[in-house]
């Protein structure tokens, strides 16, 4: 008798990734609760959502792209990242563009912000609050790439264990809620219509396999750097 080999579900496949560490602890509990309030749980299996939140220990490139795209749309402009975070890294050309925007010289702005040169050629500026903050960002069109990438850049590093979770930013949780809900719904669809999900499963397998020689932590750091480069001005 031919026995059909049972395929792992999308969530189990993610959780079987080598070196997988579940997203857990108080941050995961908060994300789970927020996801519950967003969903109509009558149509949703609680276990799917629990597994979906746990599975956030590994993120696909397509999901990371979604997070970067989404954060600009849902940022509430509360300014907490500009007033509570301690420092930011700025590229020389970014500071030059800020000087131009402020109609001042690069030298003056470097002095007034007490920008400290770092070994990697970037500069560190203290920001608590940021010198460019005055009820709102006064250099918004030319703000540094690090600000453009926030909070996804810190959030992703925190999932890789290389940074603190950016709890000061209220949209950090929302970005993960979005991914968790999407994954939980896909899990349900897989049970109801596995044929329909075949193509998606193959895309995900390829997505995960692209940087398969890296650990999850290295993979997330690599992807953050790649996105950060595109967000830094003039690069």
Please report, as ranges, the residues that interact with ligand SF4 according to CB under 6 A: 75-82, 88, 127, 130, 132-133, 137, 139, 143-144, 147, 150-151, 169-171
Of 14 and 81, the one with the shorter C-beta distance to ligand SF4 is: 81
Of 55 and 122, the one with the shorter C-beta distance to ligand SF4 is: 122
How big, in percent rounded to 5, are the helix, strand and coil portions of the chain? 60, 5, 35
- Closest approach of Cβ 83 to ligand SF4, in Å? 8
Number of C-beta neighbours around residue 46 at 10 A: 12
Scanning the structure block, which residue is given the tokens 């189990």? Answer: 12
Query: 125 has which bridge partners?
Result: 88
- CA 97: distance to chain centroid? 26
- Closest approach of Cβ 172 to ligand SF4, in Å? 7
- Closest approach of Cβ 75 to ligand SF4, in Å? 3
Of 13 and 80, the one with the shorter C-beta distance to ligand SF4 is: 80
- Closest approach of Cβ 127 to ligand SF4, in Å? 5
| Beta carbons of 233 and 91 less than 8 angstroms apart | yes
Of 163 and 189, the one with the shorter C-beta distance to ligand SF4 is: 163
Whole-number Å distance between alpha carbons of 184 and 143? 36
């Amino acid at each position: 008798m031919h026995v059909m080999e049972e395929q792992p579900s999308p969530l189990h496949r993610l959780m079987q990734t080598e070196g997988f560490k579940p997203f857990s602890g108080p941050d995961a509990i908060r994300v789970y609760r927020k996801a519950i309030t967003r969903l109509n749980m009558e149509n949703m299996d609680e276990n799917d959502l629990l597994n979906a939140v746990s599975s956030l220990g590994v993120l696909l490139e397509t999901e990371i792209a979604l997070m970067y795209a989404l954060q600009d749309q849902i940022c509430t402009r509360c300014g907490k990242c500009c007033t509570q975070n301690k420092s930011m890294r700025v590229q020389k050309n970014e500071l030059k563009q800020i000087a131009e925007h402020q109609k001042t010289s690069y030298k003056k702005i470097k002095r007034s912000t007490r920008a400290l040169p770092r070994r990697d050629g970037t500069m560190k500026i203290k920001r608590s609050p940021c010198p460019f903050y005055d009820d709102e960002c006064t250099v918004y069109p030319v703000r540094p790439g690090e600000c453009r990438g926030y909070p996804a850049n810190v959030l992703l590093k925190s999932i890789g264990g290389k940074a603190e979770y950016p709890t000061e930013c209220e949209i950090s949780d929302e970005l993960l809620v979005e991914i968790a809900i999407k994954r939980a719904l896909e899990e349900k669809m897989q049970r109801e219509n596995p044929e329909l999900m075949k193509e998606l499963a193959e895309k995900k397998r390829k997505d995960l396999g692209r940087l398969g020689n890296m650990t999850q932590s290295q993979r997330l750091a690599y992807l953050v750097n790649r996105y950060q480069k595109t967000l830094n001005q003039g690069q």
